[in-house]
Amino acid sequence: MKNIDLSTTLCGVKLRNPLVLASGIVDTTASSLIYAIENGAGAAITKSISPEPRKGHKEPIVHAAGMNSMINAVGLSNPGIDAAIQEIKDAKKRTKEPIIANIFASTVKEFGESARRISEAKPDLIEVNISCPNVDDEFGKPFSCDPALAAEVTKVVRKNTKIPVLIKLSPNIANISAIAKAVESAGADGITCINTVGGMVIDIETATPVLSNKSGGWSGAAIKPVAVKAIYECYRAVKIPILGMGGVLTGKDAVELLMAGAAAVGIGTAVYYRGISVFKRVNDEIEAFMRSHGLKTVKEIVGRAHLKNEPYESLI
Amino acid sequence: MENNTLLPEMLKIERIVNEAPNIKSFFFKHPLGSKPGQFAMVWIPRVGEKPMSIAGDDGKEFYITVAAVGPFSNAKHKIKPGQLVGIRGPLGNPFTLKGKNIALVAGGYGAGPMAFLAETAIKNGSSPKDIHYLAGARNKELLLFEKRMERLRVNVHLSTNDGSKGNKGFVTDILNGLIAKSRKTKQSIDGIFCCGPEMMEKAVFDIAVREKIGCQISVERYMKCGIGICGSCCVDPTGWRMCVEGPVLDKKQLSQVKEFGVYHRDAAGRKINF
């Protein structure tokens, strides 16, 4: 039985399988993006690219207190948009699979400028990071906390590129679907749900916050229920496709996010817990699930947990 | 699925040994179980965290050897026995002993893993006379572990750039000489292991290729997380993460890493030529 099709479509871009290397994980250079794709990723997203180079926070930048999870505050290190354009061009030359550029800026105007500039590199999609929880001290509350601001960023990015745009949303707010609706009406082609969950870890032997930034973003298995709820809510709230992520370590986790409504699924923390071959392994596990449940296409799984004609309000 | 390499173990500094002016070894009584070539992420609370190679590990106790250069290492030099330090490790791929007559080539602080490898080879049954420890440094103050290696009775070859001890010149000069000399005997060098500054490592690699001798080299890149997720230490064009697929690479792998001896990247990911 070879008729299982793992491919999916995200904002009109075809992916050979639904697994996407999440932004921030081993993805500064063209070589590292290719490495993830060689290991089975259906697409790969770059680290957040800012107009100028950033060294990021001082180490320690990562910590895990178990639970197949981790907390990080890398601080958006990246070589700046000029170098990043070269890396994306290089990656595009080396693979046919989609490369997604993630951009980040400190003002609405800069977001527009970055969207215009990064389009030179011809990424297949642009993901806009309006939700990093780790740079609040520097930039104030992320744009993802206010529907009007989120819409403003979306509008300016939309105006500055012809490439489909995903807006990456934060779970660290009261009502994620309100933001999803706002960016949809502002012209977003899709949304990414979710960025990491704000958190903090203290070493009790020395009474010291472990991360140099003190607080950071939780990811991994511990946040999966948060991701599933956010995706489920957004799927009801908007019509644009969702790139779901948060806590996917296994094929069953991926299926759960797809059932909540994700059209494709990001993998990040699992690269640590299961190694770089996690993409191949999770794909195999999704395929095994599909086989045992008589499913032939990813499309059959997307949004499967939703009842037909279930009113949106019933969730909230 | 779960493993513990992310969790810093808070360990007390057991004792501190002065190795040379401005160079100290910090001992921890803890069964880290590390192998030569592996490293640990060392966290000094409220100061910072850095990758450090393990300079020795007897199964009960391990140590790291550090020079007082830069704010982090300076802070470490002010540390006193009894203080708590966070250790994540052992991390990365170790050296794999191959060959009967082996040359361990150390440059500067690369002496730690090389001396540790000599000890491991002997523990695994090698004869000290088949092991050559070649240490090079700018001057005699920076030469490390001479006595430690003499106690093991391995062949010790020293070289300094200024001639203040051993051969004047580069450690690669003595490596070339040793290989040529060994070819005239039945103990031809058949394995080269190296840890040191990258341009020295590249010269050693070129010798190994030219002489058709197997070699393994520890490649240092900027590391932030140490566990293969941040991508800072990825090399071109393979994308291998030096904290996971490295830091020790063999000759075949090294020949694929086009940036080896050419450039590395800074904390932001910008290329910097050697």
For A144-192, how does the pLDDT look when each residue is reduced to its tens digit (9 = 90+)?
889 999 999 999 999 999 999 999 999 999 899 999 999 999 999 999 9
| Eight-class DSSP state of B202 | H
Topology of the domain covering B102-273: Rossmann fold (3.40.50)
Tell me the chain A residues in contact with residue B224 when contact means C-beta distances shorter than 8 Å.
56, 59, 61-62, 74, 77
Nearest Cα neighbor of A116 from A129, A103, A107 is: A103
Location of each CATH 3.40.50.80 domain in chain B: 102-273
Tell me the chain A residues in contact with residue B225 when contact means C-beta distances shorter than 8 Å.
61-62, 72, 74
Tell me the chain B residues in contact with residue A206 when contact means C-beta distances shorter than 8 Å.
10, 45, 84
For A69-127, how does the pLDDT look when each residue is reduced to its tens digit (9 = 90+)?
999 999 999 999 999 999 999 999 999 999 999 999 989 999 999 999 999 999 999 99
Tell me the chain B residues in contact with residue A23 when contact means C-beta distances shorter than 8 Å.
none
User: How close does chain A come to B266, measured CA to CA in Å?
Assistant: 8
Q: Which CATH superfamily is domain B3-91 in?
A: Translation factors (2.40.30.10)
How far CA B238 is from CA of A35, A94, B200, B232, in Å, comes to 7, 12, 22, 14
| Whether pLDDT at A314 is above 60 | no
How far CA A19 is from CA of A219, A288, B214, B266, in Å, comes to 17, 15, 39, 29
CA B248 – CA B262 distance, rounded (Å): 18
User: How close does chain B come to A71, measured CA to CA in Å?
Assistant: 10
How far CA A120 is from CA of A58, A129, B131, in Å, comes to 32, 19, 56
Mean pLDDT of B212-221: 98
Active site residues of A: 132
CB contact (8 A) between residue B225 and residue A61: yes
CB contact (8 A) between residue A276 and residue B49: no
Supply the mean pLDDT for chain A. 93
**Would you call B82 an interface residue with chain A, using a CB distance cutoff of 8 Å?**
no
Instruction: Answer yes or no: are the C-beta atoms of A278 and A267 closer than 8 Å.
Output: yes
Location of each CATH 2.40.30.10 domain in chain B: 3-91
B7, B244, B267: residue with CB nearest A56 = B267
Residue of B nearest to A250 (CA): B1
CA A150 to chain centre: 16
For B27-74, how does the pLDDT look when each residue is reduced to its tens digit (9 = 90+)?
999 999 999 999 999 999 988 999 999 999 999 999 999 877 666 666
B41, B45, B270: residue with CB nearest A83 = B270
Strand A99-103 relative to strand A242-244: parallel, antiparallel, unpaired? unpaired
CB contact (8 A) between residue A27 and residue B231: yes
CB contact (8 A) between residue B46 and residue A208: yes
A38, A56, A274: residue with CB nearest B1 = A274
Nearest Cα neighbor of A49 from A168, A159, A162 is: A168
Residue B1: predicted pLDDT: 44
Residue A179: predicted pLDDT: 96
Tell me the chain B residues in contact with residue A36 when contact means C-beta distances shorter than 8 Å.
239
B41, B86, B228: residue with CB nearest A272 = B228
CB contact (8 A) between residue B229 and residue A29: no
Interface probe, candidates A21, A31, A249, chain B, greatest B C-beta count within 10 A: A31
| Whether pLDDT at B123 is above 90 | yes
| Whether pLDDT at B144 is above 50 | yes
Tell me the chain A residues in contact with residue B246 when contact means C-beta distances shorter than 8 Å.
none
Average the pLDDT over each of A132-136, A206-210, A244-248 and give the range with the smallest value: A132-136
CB contact (8 A) between residue A53 and residue B268: yes
Cβ pairs A/B, distance under 8 A? 146
**Would you call B163 an interface residue with chain A, using a CB distance cutoff of 8 Å?**
no
Residue of A nearest to B88 (CA): A63
Tell me the chain B residues in contact with residue A58 when contact means C-beta distances shorter than 8 Å.
48
Instruction: Answer yes or no: are the C-beta atoms of A168 and A128 closer than 8 Å.
Output: yes
CB contact (8 A) between residue A60 and residue B235: no
**Would you call B240 an interface residue with chain A, using a CB distance cutoff of 8 Å?**
yes
CA A125 – CA A104 distance, rounded (Å): 14
Residue of A nearest to B266 (CA): A55
Instruction: Answer yes or no: are the C-beta atoms of A118 and A82 closer than 8 Å.
Output: no
Residue B72: predicted pLDDT: 63
| Whether pLDDT at B218 is above 90 | yes
Residue of B nearest to A32 (CA): B239
